Amino acid sequence: MIRKLIRRVLELPAELGSRRGKPKVIPFAMHGIRRDELSRGAQRVTSTLQEAGFSAYVVGGAVRDLMLGVSPKDFDVATNATPEEVHHLFRRSRIIGKRFRIVHVMMGPETIEVTTFRGGNIGRKNDSGRIMADNSYGSQEEDAHRRDFTVNALFYNPSDESIVDFHQGMRDIKAKKLVMIGQPVQRYKEDPVRMLRAVRLAAKLGFAIDEKTRKPIASHAVLLKDEPAARLFDELLKLLLSGHAWDCLTKLRDEGLSGGAFPLLDVVMGEAADDSFIRLALDSTDARVRDERPISVGFLLATLLWRQVDQRWQALQADGEKPIPALMQAMADVEATQDNDFAIPRRFSVTMREIWMQQPRFDARSGQRPFRFMEQPRFRAGFDFLALRAAAGEVPQSLVTWWADFQKGDNDARQALIAAVKDEDGAPARKRRRRPRKKPAAGDAA
């Protein structure tokens, strides 16, 4: 009793196996997951490791998703083989990671992430308790205890189609409940990003967050401010590309995390209630994720930040600035603001800026300008962005229809569309006046 009390007061992890008892080995008849539901790469990796005398299990989200009847996007494998031993078995593999080394095994187009069972001894931490280095290897039981949520701590053995469950994860999946393994406060201090994962998984799976897991989140959101900007950006992308982006962002705000990790999202979410543009953009992204169509991250970020750019753009024009310089200044101002939250990688920010800069060009529909504009590499992305603006009532739908017809038409049809714009305006577009050529001075060479 005294030992348990001390652990509870100091928020130390419970002794392995003391709360949950021995692991349950769940046979196929009780879960119904067959080995042929795994990818070919996952089957080959586990069988190769087992044939070499090692233990090997499919773990984490793949097992959880299979139990929920969802097709996993990727498969992770856990083993008692060291990274060097795994790398030796697979010619197309590489060891990566600093905080904890893992092996990426390439099987055709598929990459299988293979991790060695983590040990119970946590490596170096910083002053706030965050794990900085952790290359301690251990047993399967220790590895299960080190995982974040019970629903992610299931081990599937393809050889006999059984599931090893140390923390009653199967029970929590059936109850649709997200439960942290160990003391939530301690686990959040070890890795604050676990709070973001809790929100994302709960929204994505439609699970309720267990009260003990949920309660410390708001008071520990400040820990996220010390996380590297690149890591927070990666977690934001996972939220946005989860297929449930709106639900994730709403839950992020409801749990008090948006201001701690992504202050700009407070503004975005505040406006979304009165503005359908962001909601339409996120719904469109969710539909593409569900249909397994490609997603442009630059396009998605452009939609999230557009309202701030547009408001600033309009304000600068109201102060007398010309449209194009005003737009460029508005873009620079908004990007400077969001850089305080997380730095958007250049490969995404370039696309984002190009899409914004294209929007005024859709109003220019005379002469050769529509033909030249349509040859731009980002034209299609800019047009899709324009269509979203029209759906939100920001620009006339007739403008989108005109450009859609222009793309599909032949040369005669396109010329007719341009002529129709002139007729609507009541006069042809004014030609640019050329400067008169300067006459040569007397005595200059002819």
357/413 Cα distance (integer angstroms): 27
Cβ contact 38:18 at 8 Å: no
111/109 Cα distance (integer angstroms): 7
Among residues 74, 191, 275, 341, which one is catalytic?
74
Instruction: Report the Cα–Cα distance between both ends of the chain, in Å, rounded.
Output: 107
Q: Is 405 a catalytic residue?
A: no
Beta bridge partner(s), residue 282: none
Among residues 148, 210, 286, 310, which one is catalytic?
148
Which residue type is seen at 144? Answer: A
Q: Is 74 a catalytic residue?
A: yes
Which residue type is seen at 262? Answer: F
118/144 Cα distance (integer angstroms): 8
Q: Is 76 a catalytic residue?
A: yes
Q: Which of 82, 272, 63, 77 is nearest to 152 (CA)?
A: 63
Neighbours of 419 (CB within 10 A): 12
Among residues 76, 134, 172, 210, which one is catalytic?
76
Helix orientation angle between 263-272 and 245-254, rounded to the nearest 10 degrees: 110
96-133 core/surface letters (b: 16 or more CB in 10 A; e: else): eeeebbbbbbebeeeebbbbbbbbeebeeeeeebbbee
Token pair 């705000």 is at which residue?
Answer: 253
Active site residues: 74, 76, 148
